Amino acid sequence: MQAGRDPIRDVKDAICEGLRQIGDCSYAILPKNTAHALADLKKSVLNEISTALQKEMEWIDNRVAGGDKLREEWRERCERQTSTSTSTSEPV
């Protein structure tokens, strides 16, 4: 037995190799032009999903920035109201 072998890595490598072989076979059974067209279609779909996710992340960032701005406006308004009410009230 070798001293430096990692059994978990060996299992992972075996699983990855098996999945790679299955993927290769799934395209090998198709005619060449069909396999390439299918691959292009899959890549296009994944690209559109990636674009949609990127836009969603930008939307989230914009909503968080808008929330920060609104929170600051509320804080300033509250401070103005507090300072106005304390300066206009008469001592008892």
Share of the chain above pLDDT 70, in %: 90
The rounded distance, in Å, linking the Cα atoms of 51 and 49 is 5
Share of the chain above pLDDT 90, in %: 77
The pLDDT value recorded for residue 92 is: 53
pLDDT band at 89 (very low <50, low <70, confident <90, very high): low
- Tell whether the model's pLDDT for residue 86 goes beyond 70: yes
The pLDDT value recorded for residue 77 is: 93
The pLDDT value recorded for residue 88 is: 64
Residue type at 26? S
H-type alpha helices, the chain: 7-28, 32-88
